[in-house]
Structure 1
Amino acid sequence: MSNYSIKDLEQLSGIKAHTLRIWEQRYNLLSPKRTDTNIRFYDDADLKRILNVAMLNANGLKISKIAAMSAGDISQEIIKLTDQSIDHNDQIQALTICMIELDEVRFEKVLSTIILKMGFEDTVLNIIYPFLSKIGILWQTGAISPAQEHFISNLIRQKLIVAIDGQMGNNQGKTFMLFLPEGELHELSLLFSCYLIKKHGHKVIYLGQSTPNADLISVYKMQKPNYLLTVITSSPAGDKVQEYVDMLGREFTDSEIFVSGLQALDQSISIPSNIRLLTFAKEIKDELIKMEKQKV
Protein backbone atom coordinates (compact mmCIF):
# COMPACT_ATOMS: atom_id res chain seq x y z
CA MET A 1 0.00 0.00 0.00
CA SER A 2 1.31 3.44 -0.94
CA ASN A 3 1.08 6.68 0.99
CA TYR A 4 0.20 9.94 -0.78
CA SER A 5 0.44 13.59 0.15
CA ILE A 6 -2.26 16.10 -0.81
CA LYS A 7 0.09 17.26 -3.60
CA ASP A 8 0.29 13.70 -4.93
CA LEU A 9 -3.50 13.56 -5.07
CA GLU A 10 -3.52 16.90 -6.88
CA GLN A 11 -1.06 15.67 -9.50
CA LEU A 12 -2.90 12.39 -10.05
CA SER A 13 -6.44 13.74 -10.11
CA GLY A 14 -5.96 17.22 -11.56
CA ILE A 15 -7.97 18.69 -8.67
CA LYS A 16 -6.30 21.53 -6.77
CA ALA A 17 -5.20 20.74 -3.23
CA HIS A 18 -7.34 23.61 -1.90
CA THR A 19 -10.44 22.08 -3.53
CA LEU A 20 -9.57 18.63 -2.21
CA ARG A 21 -9.40 19.99 1.33
CA ILE A 22 -12.82 21.65 0.93
CA TRP A 23 -14.31 18.39 -0.36
CA GLU A 24 -12.73 16.55 2.54
CA GLN A 25 -14.10 18.93 5.16
CA ARG A 26 -17.53 19.49 3.64
CA TYR A 27 -18.35 16.06 2.20
CA ASN A 28 -15.99 13.64 3.99
CA LEU A 29 -14.74 12.41 0.62
CA LEU A 30 -11.29 11.59 1.98
CA SER A 31 -10.06 9.93 5.17
CA PRO A 32 -6.54 11.20 5.89
CA LYS A 33 -4.31 9.28 8.25
CA ARG A 34 -1.39 10.58 10.28
CA THR A 35 2.15 9.37 10.73
CA ASP A 36 3.79 9.00 14.13
CA THR A 37 5.08 12.55 13.64
CA ASN A 38 1.53 13.82 12.94
CA ILE A 39 1.99 14.33 9.18
CA ARG A 40 -1.20 13.79 7.17
CA PHE A 41 -1.20 11.21 4.37
CA TYR A 42 -3.69 9.34 2.18
CA ASP A 43 -3.82 5.69 1.12
CA ASP A 44 -4.77 3.80 -2.05
CA ALA A 45 -8.47 3.82 -1.16
CA ASP A 46 -8.42 7.62 -0.86
CA LEU A 47 -6.62 7.95 -4.19
CA LYS A 48 -9.02 5.63 -5.99
CA ARG A 49 -12.01 7.48 -4.56
CA ILE A 50 -10.76 10.93 -5.51
CA LEU A 51 -9.87 9.79 -9.05
CA ASN A 52 -13.39 8.48 -9.48
CA VAL A 53 -14.94 11.59 -7.95
CA ALA A 54 -12.84 13.89 -10.13
CA MET A 55 -13.84 11.99 -13.26
CA LEU A 56 -17.57 12.10 -12.47
CA ASN A 57 -17.39 15.75 -11.48
CA ALA A 58 -15.60 16.64 -14.73
CA ASN A 59 -18.50 15.02 -16.60
CA GLY A 60 -21.21 17.14 -15.01
CA LEU A 61 -22.16 15.44 -11.73
CA LYS A 62 -22.35 17.82 -8.80
CA ILE A 63 -19.99 17.08 -5.96
CA SER A 64 -22.89 17.00 -3.47
CA LYS A 65 -24.59 14.25 -5.48
CA ILE A 66 -21.37 12.24 -5.84
CA ALA A 67 -20.74 12.49 -2.08
CA ALA A 68 -24.14 10.91 -1.43
CA MET A 69 -23.44 7.92 -3.70
CA SER A 70 -22.24 4.57 -2.39
CA ALA A 71 -18.89 3.15 -3.47
CA GLY A 72 -20.73 0.60 -5.63
CA ASP A 73 -22.81 3.28 -7.34
CA ILE A 74 -19.70 5.36 -8.06
CA SER A 75 -17.95 2.32 -9.53
CA GLN A 76 -20.90 1.57 -11.80
CA GLU A 77 -21.04 5.18 -12.99
CA ILE A 78 -17.34 5.11 -13.78
CA ILE A 79 -17.66 1.90 -15.79
CA LYS A 80 -20.61 3.32 -17.72
CA LEU A 81 -18.74 6.56 -18.39
CA THR A 82 -15.51 4.97 -19.61
CA ASP A 83 -17.43 2.61 -21.89
CA GLN A 84 -19.20 5.54 -23.55
CA SER A 85 -16.80 8.48 -23.35
CA ILE A 86 -14.43 9.44 -26.16
CA ASP A 87 -12.78 12.20 -24.15
CA HIS A 88 -9.03 11.61 -23.94
CA ASN A 89 -8.74 12.83 -20.35
CA ASP A 90 -11.51 10.47 -19.23
CA GLN A 91 -9.74 7.51 -20.81
CA ILE A 92 -6.37 8.45 -19.32
CA GLN A 93 -8.01 8.81 -15.92
CA ALA A 94 -9.63 5.39 -16.31
CA LEU A 95 -6.27 3.81 -17.13
CA THR A 96 -4.75 5.56 -14.10
CA ILE A 97 -7.38 3.97 -11.83
CA CYS A 98 -6.58 0.54 -13.30
CA MET A 99 -2.89 1.15 -12.61
CA ILE A 100 -3.52 2.12 -8.99
CA GLU A 101 -5.63 -1.00 -8.45
CA LEU A 102 -3.32 -3.27 -10.51
CA ASP A 103 -6.52 -4.33 -12.29
CA GLU A 104 -5.37 -6.15 -15.41
CA VAL A 105 -8.85 -7.26 -16.52
CA ARG A 106 -10.29 -3.74 -16.35
CA PHE A 107 -7.20 -2.22 -17.97
CA GLU A 108 -7.50 -4.65 -20.87
CA LYS A 109 -11.19 -3.87 -21.31
CA VAL A 110 -10.71 -0.09 -21.19
CA LEU A 111 -7.77 -0.14 -23.60
CA SER A 112 -9.46 -2.54 -26.04
CA THR A 113 -12.57 -0.33 -26.07
CA ILE A 114 -10.46 2.74 -26.84
CA ILE A 115 -8.67 0.93 -29.68
CA LEU A 116 -12.00 -0.12 -31.20
CA LYS A 117 -13.22 3.49 -31.11
CA MET A 118 -10.05 5.29 -32.15
CA GLY A 119 -7.85 2.76 -33.92
CA PHE A 120 -4.50 1.50 -32.69
CA GLU A 121 -2.26 4.36 -33.87
CA ASP A 122 -4.46 7.15 -32.53
CA THR A 123 -4.81 5.30 -29.23
CA VAL A 124 -1.03 5.10 -28.83
CA LEU A 125 -0.42 8.71 -29.85
CA ASN A 126 -3.34 10.38 -28.04
CA ILE A 127 -3.96 8.11 -25.04
CA ILE A 128 -1.01 5.84 -24.25
CA TYR A 129 1.79 8.38 -24.75
CA PRO A 130 0.16 11.08 -22.58
CA PHE A 131 -0.69 8.40 -20.01
CA LEU A 132 2.89 7.12 -19.92
CA SER A 133 4.18 10.67 -19.62
CA LYS A 134 1.87 11.21 -16.66
CA ILE A 135 2.86 8.04 -14.81
CA GLY A 136 6.54 8.65 -15.60
CA ILE A 137 6.41 11.95 -13.77
CA LEU A 138 4.45 10.41 -10.92
CA TRP A 139 6.96 7.55 -10.62
CA GLN A 140 9.88 9.99 -10.47
CA THR A 141 8.19 12.01 -7.72
CA GLY A 142 7.31 8.88 -5.75
CA ALA A 143 3.55 9.24 -6.16
CA ILE A 144 3.33 5.73 -7.61
CA SER A 145 5.53 2.70 -7.03
CA PRO A 146 7.89 1.12 -9.56
CA ALA A 147 5.71 -2.00 -9.37
CA GLN A 148 2.67 -0.08 -10.62
CA GLU A 149 4.69 1.52 -13.43
CA HIS A 150 6.13 -1.87 -14.48
CA PHE A 151 2.71 -3.51 -14.31
CA ILE A 152 1.21 -1.04 -16.76
CA SER A 153 4.27 -0.87 -19.03
CA ASN A 154 4.24 -4.65 -19.46
CA LEU A 155 0.54 -4.70 -20.36
CA ILE A 156 1.09 -1.99 -22.99
CA ARG A 157 4.16 -3.85 -24.25
CA GLN A 158 2.01 -6.94 -24.83
CA LYS A 159 -0.46 -4.86 -26.88
CA LEU A 160 2.34 -3.46 -29.03
CA ILE A 161 3.83 -6.90 -29.70
CA VAL A 162 0.45 -8.26 -30.79
CA ALA A 163 -0.02 -5.26 -33.09
CA ILE A 164 3.45 -5.79 -34.59
CA ASP A 165 2.72 -9.47 -35.23
CA GLY A 166 -0.36 -8.41 -37.18
CA GLN A 167 1.74 -6.41 -39.66
CA MET A 168 2.97 -9.03 -42.10
CA GLY A 169 4.20 -6.50 -44.71
CA ASN A 170 5.87 -7.28 -48.01
CA ASN A 171 9.34 -6.18 -46.84
CA GLN A 172 9.94 -4.58 -50.23
CA GLY A 173 10.79 -1.19 -48.77
CA LYS A 174 13.83 0.04 -46.91
CA THR A 175 15.62 -1.80 -44.11
CA PHE A 176 15.54 -0.34 -40.59
CA MET A 177 17.65 -1.53 -37.69
CA LEU A 178 16.03 -0.75 -34.32
CA PHE A 179 17.92 -0.95 -31.03
CA LEU A 180 18.35 0.56 -27.58
CA PRO A 181 21.75 1.56 -26.16
CA GLU A 182 23.48 -0.73 -23.71
CA GLY A 183 21.78 -0.41 -20.32
CA GLU A 184 18.58 1.08 -21.81
CA LEU A 185 15.43 -0.93 -21.04
CA HIS A 186 12.58 1.49 -21.88
CA GLU A 187 11.30 -0.25 -24.98
CA LEU A 188 7.77 1.00 -25.64
CA SER A 189 8.68 3.80 -28.07
CA LEU A 190 10.96 1.46 -30.00
CA LEU A 191 8.19 -1.14 -30.25
CA PHE A 192 5.72 1.45 -31.55
CA SER A 193 8.29 2.57 -34.11
CA CYS A 194 8.64 -1.06 -35.19
CA TYR A 195 4.87 -1.28 -35.64
CA LEU A 196 4.75 1.86 -37.78
CA ILE A 197 7.72 0.87 -39.93
CA LYS A 198 6.34 -2.62 -40.64
CA LYS A 199 2.89 -1.22 -41.33
CA HIS A 200 4.39 0.98 -44.04
CA GLY A 201 5.92 -2.06 -45.75
CA HIS A 202 9.53 -1.83 -44.63
CA LYS A 203 11.82 -4.51 -43.21
CA VAL A 204 12.79 -4.30 -39.54
CA ILE A 205 15.85 -5.78 -37.88
CA TYR A 206 14.81 -5.53 -34.24
CA LEU A 207 17.68 -5.82 -31.76
CA GLY A 208 15.67 -4.50 -28.82
CA GLN A 209 16.87 -3.59 -25.34
CA SER A 210 20.44 -2.97 -24.16
CA THR A 211 22.35 -3.66 -27.38
CA PRO A 212 26.17 -3.70 -26.89
CA ASN A 213 28.06 -1.51 -29.36
CA ALA A 214 30.10 -4.46 -30.66
CA ASP A 215 26.93 -6.43 -31.49
CA LEU A 216 25.39 -3.38 -33.12
CA ILE A 217 28.41 -2.89 -35.39
CA SER A 218 28.57 -6.61 -36.22
CA VAL A 219 24.91 -6.82 -37.30
CA TYR A 220 25.23 -3.57 -39.24
CA LYS A 221 28.12 -4.94 -41.30
CA MET A 222 26.11 -8.05 -42.15
CA GLN A 223 22.76 -6.40 -42.94
CA LYS A 224 23.70 -2.92 -44.26
CA PRO A 225 20.40 -1.28 -43.20
CA ASN A 226 19.27 1.97 -44.82
CA TYR A 227 18.20 3.46 -41.50
CA LEU A 228 18.97 3.07 -37.81
CA LEU A 229 16.60 4.12 -35.04
CA THR A 230 17.25 4.32 -31.31
CA VAL A 231 15.67 5.89 -28.23
CA ILE A 232 17.77 7.17 -25.31
CA THR A 233 15.49 7.50 -22.29
CA SER A 234 17.76 6.82 -19.30
CA SER A 235 21.01 5.31 -20.57
CA PRO A 236 23.49 6.66 -21.47
CA ALA A 237 23.07 9.85 -19.45
CA GLY A 238 24.94 13.11 -18.90
CA ASP A 239 28.05 13.66 -21.00
CA LYS A 240 27.93 10.02 -22.12
CA VAL A 241 25.07 10.93 -24.48
CA GLN A 242 27.38 13.02 -26.67
CA GLU A 243 29.91 10.18 -26.76
CA TYR A 244 27.23 7.71 -27.82
CA VAL A 245 25.79 9.96 -30.53
CA ASP A 246 29.30 10.61 -31.86
CA MET A 247 29.93 6.86 -31.99
CA LEU A 248 26.74 6.30 -33.99
CA GLY A 249 27.63 9.01 -36.47
CA ARG A 250 31.17 7.67 -36.86
CA GLU A 251 30.43 3.95 -37.16
CA PHE A 252 27.38 4.07 -39.42
CA THR A 253 28.27 6.69 -42.03
CA ASP A 254 26.39 4.96 -44.86
CA SER A 255 23.01 5.09 -43.11
CA GLU A 256 20.65 7.77 -41.87
CA ILE A 257 20.15 7.53 -38.11
CA PHE A 258 17.07 8.61 -36.15
CA VAL A 259 17.60 9.34 -32.46
CA SER A 260 14.97 10.22 -29.88
CA GLY A 261 14.41 10.03 -26.13
CA LEU A 262 14.66 12.29 -23.11
CA GLN A 263 18.43 12.07 -22.69
CA ALA A 264 19.05 13.11 -26.29
CA LEU A 265 16.43 15.85 -26.40
CA ASP A 266 17.02 17.43 -22.99
CA GLN A 267 20.65 18.24 -23.66
CA SER A 268 22.47 20.60 -25.98
CA ILE A 269 24.50 18.09 -27.96
CA SER A 270 26.29 18.35 -31.27
CA ILE A 271 24.57 16.23 -33.92
CA PRO A 272 26.61 14.49 -36.65
CA SER A 273 25.40 15.15 -40.20
CA ASN A 274 23.92 11.64 -40.67
CA ILE A 275 21.80 11.81 -37.49
CA ARG A 276 18.37 13.36 -37.03
CA LEU A 277 16.72 14.04 -33.70
CA LEU A 278 13.03 13.15 -33.46
CA THR A 279 11.09 14.91 -30.73
CA PHE A 280 7.89 12.86 -30.86
CA ALA A 281 6.70 9.47 -32.10
CA LYS A 282 4.47 11.04 -34.75
CA GLU A 283 7.58 12.34 -36.50
CA ILE A 284 8.55 8.76 -37.31
CA LYS A 285 5.24 8.30 -39.08
CA ASP A 286 5.76 11.59 -40.93
CA GLU A 287 9.16 10.38 -42.16
CA LEU A 288 7.64 7.13 -43.40
CA ILE A 289 4.96 9.05 -45.31
CA LYS A 290 7.67 11.20 -46.91
CA MET A 291 9.45 8.05 -48.08
CA GLU A 292 6.26 6.80 -49.70
CA LYS A 293 5.76 10.10 -51.54
CA GLN A 294 9.35 10.01 -52.80
CA LYS A 295 8.72 6.60 -54.39
CA VAL A 296 5.74 7.91 -56.38
Structure 2
Amino acid sequence: MSVYSIKDLEHLSGIKAHTIRIWEQRYNLFSPQRTATNIRYYNDEDVKLILNIATLKNHGMKISKIVAMPVEMMQEEVHNLSKDDLSDEDQISALTLAMVDMDETIFSDILNANIEQNGFERAMMDVIYPFMRKIGILWLTNAINPAQEHFITHLVRQKIITATDQLSAKNDGPLFLLFLPEGELHELGLLFANYILRSRGYKTIFFGQTVPLNALEEVYHKLRPKCILTAMTTAPDPSGVQQYVDRLGNKFKDCSIYITGSRVVGQDIHTPKNMQVLNQFEDLFVLTTKQELQTFSR
Protein backbone atom coordinates (compact mmCIF):
# COMPACT_ATOMS: atom_id res chain seq x y z
CA MET A 1 0.00 0.00 0.00
CA SER A 2 1.27 3.46 -0.89
CA VAL A 3 1.83 6.25 1.60
CA TYR A 4 0.75 9.84 0.90
CA SER A 5 1.39 13.16 2.60
CA ILE A 6 -1.35 15.74 2.99
CA LYS A 7 0.31 17.71 0.17
CA ASP A 8 -0.06 14.63 -2.04
CA LEU A 9 -3.79 14.59 -1.25
CA GLU A 10 -3.96 18.28 -2.13
CA HIS A 11 -2.13 17.71 -5.39
CA LEU A 12 -4.37 14.82 -6.43
CA SER A 13 -7.72 16.27 -5.40
CA GLY A 14 -7.23 20.00 -5.89
CA ILE A 15 -8.48 20.57 -2.32
CA LYS A 16 -6.13 22.68 -0.23
CA ALA A 17 -4.27 20.94 2.59
CA HIS A 18 -5.65 23.53 5.03
CA THR A 19 -9.21 22.61 4.01
CA ILE A 20 -8.46 18.88 4.33
CA ARG A 21 -7.19 19.44 7.87
CA ILE A 22 -10.36 21.39 8.78
CA TRP A 23 -12.58 18.63 7.37
CA GLU A 24 -10.50 16.05 9.19
CA GLN A 25 -11.11 17.80 12.50
CA ARG A 26 -14.73 18.86 11.93
CA TYR A 27 -16.09 15.69 10.35
CA ASN A 28 -13.62 13.08 11.58
CA LEU A 29 -13.02 12.41 7.90
CA PHE A 30 -9.69 10.59 8.12
CA SER A 31 -7.73 8.71 10.73
CA PRO A 32 -4.21 9.30 9.45
CA GLN A 33 -1.25 7.42 10.82
CA ARG A 34 1.77 9.35 12.06
CA THR A 35 5.48 8.94 11.55
CA ALA A 36 7.98 8.75 14.36
CA THR A 37 8.35 12.53 13.99
CA ASN A 38 4.56 13.01 14.31
CA ILE A 39 3.90 13.81 10.64
CA ARG A 40 0.54 12.68 9.25
CA TYR A 41 0.46 10.20 6.41
CA TYR A 42 -2.44 8.71 4.48
CA ASN A 43 -3.18 5.48 2.60
CA ASP A 44 -4.91 4.39 -0.62
CA GLU A 45 -8.35 4.38 0.99
CA ASP A 46 -7.86 7.99 2.07
CA VAL A 47 -6.90 8.94 -1.49
CA LYS A 48 -10.01 7.29 -2.90
CA LEU A 49 -12.16 9.06 -0.30
CA ILE A 50 -10.78 12.54 -1.00
CA LEU A 51 -11.07 12.01 -4.78
CA ASN A 52 -14.71 10.95 -4.44
CA ILE A 53 -15.41 13.95 -2.20
CA ALA A 54 -13.71 16.29 -4.68
CA THR A 55 -15.78 14.90 -7.57
CA LEU A 56 -19.09 15.30 -5.72
CA LYS A 57 -18.12 18.76 -4.48
CA ASN A 58 -17.21 19.82 -8.02
CA HIS A 59 -20.74 18.89 -9.02
CA GLY A 60 -22.29 21.22 -6.46
CA MET A 61 -22.90 18.91 -3.51
CA LYS A 62 -22.25 20.44 -0.07
CA ILE A 63 -19.48 18.95 2.02
CA SER A 64 -21.85 18.45 4.98
CA LYS A 65 -24.08 16.25 2.82
CA ILE A 66 -21.15 14.35 1.31
CA VAL A 67 -19.53 13.40 4.61
CA ALA A 68 -22.89 12.22 5.98
CA MET A 69 -23.02 9.52 3.31
CA PRO A 70 -21.74 6.00 3.90
CA VAL A 71 -18.70 5.33 1.74
CA GLU A 72 -20.68 2.92 -0.45
CA MET A 73 -23.33 5.56 -1.19
CA MET A 74 -20.63 8.11 -1.98
CA GLN A 75 -19.06 5.70 -4.47
CA GLU A 76 -22.47 5.02 -6.03
CA GLU A 77 -23.07 8.78 -6.50
CA VAL A 78 -19.71 9.14 -8.22
CA HIS A 79 -20.47 6.11 -10.38
CA ASN A 80 -23.80 7.65 -11.42
CA LEU A 81 -22.02 10.84 -12.39
CA SER A 82 -19.63 8.83 -14.54
CA LYS A 83 -22.54 7.86 -16.77
CA ASP A 84 -22.79 11.51 -17.83
CA ASP A 85 -20.14 13.55 -19.65
CA LEU A 86 -17.44 14.15 -17.07
CA SER A 87 -15.21 17.19 -17.07
CA ASP A 88 -11.50 16.68 -17.77
CA GLU A 89 -10.81 17.19 -14.06
CA ASP A 90 -13.32 14.50 -13.09
CA GLN A 91 -11.83 12.09 -15.63
CA ILE A 92 -8.35 12.68 -14.22
CA SER A 93 -9.69 11.90 -10.73
CA ALA A 94 -11.35 8.73 -12.08
CA LEU A 95 -8.07 7.66 -13.72
CA THR A 96 -6.28 8.20 -10.42
CA LEU A 97 -8.82 6.00 -8.63
CA ALA A 98 -8.28 3.32 -11.27
CA MET A 99 -4.53 3.58 -10.72
CA VAL A 100 -4.86 3.19 -6.95
CA ASP A 101 -7.07 0.11 -7.43
CA MET A 102 -4.92 -1.15 -10.34
CA ASP A 103 -8.18 -1.52 -12.29
CA GLU A 104 -7.28 -1.86 -15.97
CA THR A 105 -10.91 -2.16 -17.11
CA ILE A 106 -12.03 1.15 -15.61
CA PHE A 107 -8.85 2.90 -16.72
CA SER A 108 -9.30 1.72 -20.32
CA ASP A 109 -13.03 2.46 -20.35
CA ILE A 110 -12.43 6.08 -19.32
CA LEU A 111 -9.73 6.60 -21.93
CA ASN A 112 -11.64 4.83 -24.69
CA ALA A 113 -14.75 6.92 -24.06
CA ASN A 114 -12.74 10.15 -24.17
CA ILE A 115 -10.89 9.10 -27.33
CA GLU A 116 -14.16 8.16 -29.04
CA GLN A 117 -15.73 11.50 -28.12
CA ASN A 118 -12.81 13.88 -28.64
CA GLY A 119 -10.25 12.05 -30.75
CA PHE A 120 -6.94 10.59 -29.62
CA GLU A 121 -4.93 13.80 -29.81
CA ARG A 122 -7.30 15.85 -27.65
CA ALA A 123 -7.66 12.99 -25.16
CA MET A 124 -3.89 12.94 -24.77
CA MET A 125 -3.55 16.69 -24.35
CA ASP A 126 -6.59 17.35 -22.13
CA VAL A 127 -6.68 14.25 -19.93
CA ILE A 128 -3.81 11.80 -20.28
CA TYR A 129 -0.92 14.26 -20.06
CA PRO A 130 -2.34 16.29 -17.14
CA PHE A 131 -2.92 12.98 -15.39
CA MET A 132 0.63 11.79 -16.11
CA ARG A 133 2.04 15.07 -14.78
CA LYS A 134 0.21 14.50 -11.50
CA ILE A 135 1.47 10.94 -11.30
CA GLY A 136 4.99 12.10 -12.19
CA ILE A 137 5.08 14.44 -9.20
CA LEU A 138 3.88 11.65 -6.91
CA TRP A 139 6.56 9.39 -8.37
CA LEU A 140 9.24 11.95 -7.55
CA THR A 141 8.00 12.20 -3.94
CA ASN A 142 7.83 8.39 -3.62
CA ALA A 143 4.07 8.61 -2.94
CA ILE A 144 3.27 5.91 -5.50
CA ASN A 145 5.10 2.65 -5.82
CA PRO A 146 6.87 1.37 -8.95
CA ALA A 147 4.11 -1.17 -9.65
CA GLN A 148 1.51 1.60 -9.93
CA GLU A 149 3.77 3.70 -12.14
CA HIS A 150 4.54 0.75 -14.44
CA PHE A 151 0.85 -0.20 -14.57
CA ILE A 152 -0.14 3.26 -15.82
CA THR A 153 2.82 3.65 -18.18
CA HIS A 154 2.14 0.30 -19.81
CA LEU A 155 -1.53 1.09 -20.45
CA VAL A 156 -0.87 4.56 -21.86
CA ARG A 157 1.96 3.21 -23.99
CA GLN A 158 -0.41 0.62 -25.47
CA LYS A 159 -2.95 3.33 -26.33
CA ILE A 160 -0.35 5.44 -28.14
CA ILE A 161 1.06 2.51 -30.12
CA THR A 162 -2.42 1.34 -31.12
CA ALA A 163 -3.41 4.83 -32.27
CA THR A 164 -0.16 5.17 -34.24
CA ASP A 165 -0.64 1.79 -35.94
CA GLN A 166 -4.05 2.93 -37.16
CA LEU A 167 -2.58 5.87 -39.07
CA SER A 168 -2.02 5.74 -42.81
CA ALA A 169 1.45 4.58 -43.84
CA LYS A 170 1.46 6.88 -46.89
CA ASN A 171 3.65 9.63 -45.47
CA ASP A 172 5.65 11.81 -47.83
CA GLY A 173 6.83 14.61 -45.55
CA PRO A 174 10.37 15.15 -44.21
CA LEU A 175 11.98 12.22 -42.40
CA PHE A 176 12.29 12.47 -38.60
CA LEU A 177 14.53 10.28 -36.47
CA LEU A 178 13.20 10.00 -32.91
CA PHE A 179 15.40 8.66 -30.13
CA LEU A 180 16.23 8.93 -26.42
CA PRO A 181 19.79 9.33 -25.09
CA GLU A 182 21.60 6.51 -23.34
CA GLY A 183 20.08 5.97 -19.90
CA GLU A 184 16.81 7.75 -20.77
CA LEU A 185 13.81 5.42 -20.35
CA HIS A 186 10.84 7.81 -20.30
CA GLU A 187 9.51 7.30 -23.82
CA LEU A 188 5.79 8.19 -23.57
CA GLY A 189 6.36 11.76 -24.71
CA LEU A 190 8.45 10.64 -27.66
CA LEU A 191 5.87 8.02 -28.59
CA PHE A 192 3.19 10.69 -28.66
CA ALA A 193 5.46 12.96 -30.72
CA ASN A 194 5.83 10.08 -33.17
CA TYR A 195 2.03 9.88 -33.39
CA ILE A 196 1.71 13.65 -33.97
CA LEU A 197 4.29 13.61 -36.77
CA ARG A 198 2.81 10.61 -38.54
CA SER A 199 -0.73 11.96 -38.23
CA ARG A 200 0.44 15.04 -40.13
CA GLY A 201 2.03 13.08 -42.96
CA TYR A 202 5.69 12.99 -41.92
CA LYS A 203 7.91 9.95 -42.19
CA THR A 204 9.35 8.80 -38.87
CA ILE A 205 11.78 6.22 -37.62
CA PHE A 206 11.33 5.60 -33.91
CA PHE A 207 14.40 4.24 -32.11
CA GLY A 208 13.05 4.61 -28.57
CA GLN A 209 15.03 4.29 -25.37
CA THR A 210 18.72 4.61 -24.54
CA VAL A 211 20.29 4.97 -28.02
CA PRO A 212 24.07 5.52 -28.27
CA LEU A 213 25.01 8.51 -30.45
CA ASN A 214 27.46 6.42 -32.47
CA ALA A 215 24.69 4.01 -33.46
CA LEU A 216 22.42 6.91 -34.37
CA GLU A 217 25.21 8.44 -36.44
CA GLU A 218 25.45 5.33 -38.63
CA VAL A 219 21.74 5.50 -39.44
CA TYR A 220 21.94 9.26 -39.97
CA HIS A 221 24.59 8.94 -42.71
CA LYS A 222 22.59 6.20 -44.40
CA LEU A 223 19.13 7.84 -44.36
CA ARG A 224 19.97 11.56 -44.34
CA PRO A 225 16.93 12.62 -42.28
CA LYS A 226 15.58 16.17 -42.41
CA CYS A 227 15.06 16.37 -38.63
CA ILE A 228 15.98 14.68 -35.34
CA LEU A 229 13.79 14.77 -32.24
CA THR A 230 14.87 13.74 -28.75
CA ALA A 231 13.88 14.23 -25.11
CA MET A 232 16.01 14.50 -21.99
CA THR A 233 14.12 13.95 -18.74
CA THR A 234 16.46 11.95 -16.52
CA ALA A 235 19.51 11.60 -18.77
CA PRO A 236 22.17 12.73 -19.38
CA ASP A 237 23.34 13.72 -15.92
CA PRO A 238 22.77 17.48 -15.38
CA SER A 239 26.51 18.15 -15.41
CA GLY A 240 26.80 16.51 -18.83
CA VAL A 241 23.81 18.02 -20.63
CA GLN A 242 25.68 20.89 -22.29
CA GLN A 243 28.41 18.56 -23.52
CA TYR A 244 25.80 16.16 -24.89
CA VAL A 245 23.93 18.99 -26.65
CA ASP A 246 27.20 20.18 -28.22
CA ARG A 247 28.02 16.65 -29.43
CA LEU A 248 24.54 16.27 -30.86
CA GLY A 249 24.81 19.52 -32.78
CA ASN A 250 28.27 18.73 -34.13
CA LYS A 251 27.49 15.17 -35.24
CA PHE A 252 24.30 16.11 -37.09
CA LYS A 253 25.06 19.51 -38.57
CA ASP A 254 23.08 19.03 -41.76
CA CYS A 255 19.65 18.56 -40.20
CA SER A 256 17.35 20.33 -37.74
CA ILE A 257 17.45 19.00 -34.18
CA TYR A 258 14.56 19.45 -31.74
CA ILE A 259 15.02 18.68 -28.06
CA THR A 260 12.67 18.76 -25.09
CA GLY A 261 12.46 17.49 -21.51
CA SER A 262 13.23 18.83 -18.05
CA ARG A 263 17.00 18.55 -18.58
CA VAL A 264 16.84 21.34 -21.19
CA VAL A 265 13.52 23.22 -20.85
CA GLY A 266 14.03 26.31 -18.71
CA GLN A 267 17.71 25.51 -18.24
CA ASP A 268 20.69 27.68 -19.12
CA ILE A 269 21.68 25.55 -22.09
CA HIS A 270 23.42 26.97 -25.16
CA THR A 271 22.06 25.39 -28.34
CA PRO A 272 23.76 25.28 -31.77
CA LYS A 273 22.15 27.13 -34.70
CA ASN A 274 20.56 23.95 -36.06
CA MET A 275 18.92 23.08 -32.72
CA GLN A 276 15.71 24.26 -31.05
CA VAL A 277 14.26 23.55 -27.59
CA LEU A 278 10.56 22.64 -27.51
CA ASN A 279 9.06 23.88 -24.26
CA GLN A 280 5.75 22.03 -24.64
CA PHE A 281 3.88 19.76 -27.02
CA GLU A 282 2.01 22.69 -28.54
CA ASP A 283 5.38 23.77 -29.99
CA LEU A 284 5.49 20.53 -31.95
CA PHE A 285 2.04 21.22 -33.38
CA VAL A 286 3.38 24.48 -34.81
CA LEU A 287 6.52 22.84 -36.16
CA THR A 288 4.55 20.19 -38.01
CA THR A 289 3.37 22.72 -40.56
CA LYS A 290 5.65 22.33 -43.59
CA GLN A 291 6.23 26.06 -43.82
CA GLU A 292 7.61 26.24 -40.30
CA LEU A 293 9.85 23.22 -40.81
CA GLN A 294 11.23 24.57 -44.07
CA THR A 295 11.99 27.90 -42.38
CA PHE A 296 14.02 26.22 -39.65
CA SER A 297 15.52 23.28 -41.53
CA ARG A 298 18.61 23.43 -43.65
Report what 2:28 is aligned to. 28
- Kindly indicate whether the alpha-carbon contact (under 8 Å) linking 1:125 and 1:282 is maintained by their aligned counterparts in 2: no
The structural deviation recorded for 1:182 is 0.7
Query: Residues 234-284 of structure 1: CA distance to partner in whole angstroms, max 9, x if unpaired?
Result: 101312111111111101111111111110113201110011111111211
Alignment map for 1:69-218 (pairs within 5 Å): 69-218=69-218
SS in 2 for 1:179: strand
* 1:265 match: secondary structure: coil
Superposition map of 1:61-76 within 5 A:
61-76=61-76
Q: Which amino acid aligns with 1:234?
A: T
The 5 Å alignment of 1:216-255 reads: 216-255=216-255
Return 5+ residue gaps in structure 1 as ranges: none
TM-superposed CA distance for 1:40, in Å, is 3.2
The alignment covers a number of residue pairs equal to: 295
Q: Say which SS state the counterpart of residue 245 (structure 1) adopts.
A: helix
| 8 Å Cα contact 2:249-2:275 kept in structure 1 | yes
**Where does the alignment leave 5 or more consecutive residues of structure 2 unmatched?**
none
Q: Aligned in 2, Cα 1:292/1:283: closer, same or farther, shift over 3 Å?
A: closer
The CA deviation string for residues 200-257 of structure 1, in whole angstroms up to 9 with x for no partner, is 1121111111101111001111111111100111101312111111111101111111
Which residue of the partner structure matches residue 287 of structure 1?
287
SS in 2 for 1:263: coil
| Number of the residue aligned with 1:15 | 15
- Separation in 2 of the partners of 1:293 and 1:10? 41
* Alignment partners' CA distance in 2, 1:48 and 1:159: 25
Post-superposition shift, 1:187? 0.4
Q: CA deviation at 1:35?
A: 4.5
* SS of residue paired to 1:239: helix
Q: CA deviation at 1:159?
A: 0.3
Q: CA deviation at 1:142?
A: 2.2
Q: Would the aligned equivalents of 1:183 and 1:210 in 2 still touch at CA under 8 Å?
A: yes
Deviations 1:25-79 (CA, angstroms, capped at 9, x unpaired)? 2223212234466543221111111111111112111112211222222222222
2:199 counterpart letter in structure 1:
K
User: 1:285, CA displacement in angstroms?
Assistant: 1.7
TM-superposed CA distance for 1:113, in Å, is: 1.2
- SS of residue matched to 1:257: strand
Change (3 A) 1:182 1:293: closer
Q: TM-score, normalised by structure 1?
A: 0.93
Please report how far the alpha carbon of residue 135 of structure 1 lies from its aligned counterpart in structure 2 after TM superposition: 1.2
RMSD across aligned C-alpha pairs, in angstroms? 1.9
Task: Check whether the contact 2:286–2:292 (CA below 8 A) recurs between aligned residues.
Answer: no
Deviations 1:111-161 (A, max 9, x none): 111112221111111211211111111211222223222211111011000
Whether the 8 Å CA contact 1:44–1:100 is kept in 2: the answer is yes
Write the distance in 2 (CA, Å) between the matches of 1:55 and 1:73: 14
Structure 1 residues 34 and 221, CA gap change in structure 2 (3 angstroms): same
